[in-house]
Amino acid sequence: MKILIYGAGIQGSYLAHSLIKGNNQVTLLARGKRKKELLERGLVLHHVIQHKHTKDPVHVIETLQPDDFYDLIFVTMKYSDFPAVLDPLAQNCSSTILFIGNQIDAAHLEKKLQEKSRLPKDIYFGFQMTGGTKTEKGLSVLRFGKGQMKIGSLHESFAIAPILDRVFKHTNYVWHYDPKLDDWLKNHATMIMIQNSFEYLYDFSAETIRKSGDLSTLADSFKEGFDLLAAAGHEILPKGQKFVFEHPSLTKKLFTLYYRLPISQMVQGDFREIYTLILDFERYQTNTPSELETLLLAAKRKYEKSHEPLAKIS
């Protein structure tokens, strides 16, 4: 299968590594320093838990041209970068597109891409179960077991299944269809938005959080955030997460333990992306004073002091 992975960060790079092993024709779209790294060194990854390095040859492009056909395009850009990729995707002749990653308003994204496209697109959404960090030595990938991805659609039709079966057939990667993926994505985006906003206020330092962080604020914010989603008619998923965040005292205990573990420093979001999630989450907020509103507002103001406003999908 001829595959384009639009974005060469941690998510796109690990996905490319997995698909190359499946004898697919994989192309990575990358720019700037990352493109140079890939051309000079190949696709080099450090798999933290597995204690191994991998290196794969990979084809790299910088721009998606209208006539560049691919059987499937995976978009692994940050949520904040989606506005910049809509026009190239709309003008391209490929019809099947799968957006991977944090997502709080999939319906709006799909609508805008269809409006811009010359021909109808088959649009799907997914989430890859990997994390990691960028280091001076390259990309470090954090994953448990084999590669996994949840995939779903905003419509009853799920015509992409045969394509995915072919794409992943000769890999050790597993994909799952999730009929409730839209709600799941909203839940996950809300969780990482709140957690990263809290950590951003402490400069992502677990030590600082342990010494002076108010975990009660974090715990209460989680409960308030998911209460807002539920009030908007979204199912709270997964069920275990719902139980934890309904009980702030339990949430506080779990995060007290979490910030004592090394993994707390290995999974960090890009706050540029988190800022965009906050802006889109505001539709759920009621302007009623709360721990959540105070937390998100403080994180927004800190970010805005040193960054330009971001473009939104309008």
3-class SS of residue 162: helix
Contact yes or no for 223/245 (Cβ under 8 A)? yes
DSSP of 127-192: EE--EEEEETTEEEEE-SSS-EEEEE-SSS--TTHHHHHHHHTTSS-EEEE-TTHHHHHHHHHHHH
3-class SS of residue 266: coil
Structure tokens that stand for 99 in this block: 């957006």
Cα–Cα distance measured from residue 56 to residue 18, given in angstroms and rounded to the nearest whole number: 10
Which pLDDT score, from 0 to 100, does residue 310 have? Answer: 64
Structure tokens that stand for 282 in this block: 């505001």
Maximum CA extent, the chain = 56
Which pLDDT score, from 0 to 100, does residue 172 have? Answer: 87
Contact yes or no for 48/141 (Cβ under 8 A)? yes
Contact yes or no for 22/172 (Cβ under 8 A)? no
For 22-72, the pLDDT digits (tens) are: 889 999 999 999 999 999 999 999 998 898 999 999 999 999 999 999 999
Q: Is the dihedral of CA 140, 99, 5, 25 positive or negative?
A: positive
Cα–Cα distance measured from residue 295 to residue 197, given in angstroms and rounded to the nearest whole number: 7
Read off the DSSP letter of residue 309. P
Beta bridge mates, 176: 150
Helices (H) then strands (E): counts for the chain: 12, 12
Q: Which segments in the chain show pLDDT lower than 50?
A: none
Cα–Cα distance measured from residue 228 to residue 283, given in angstroms and rounded to the nearest whole number: 10
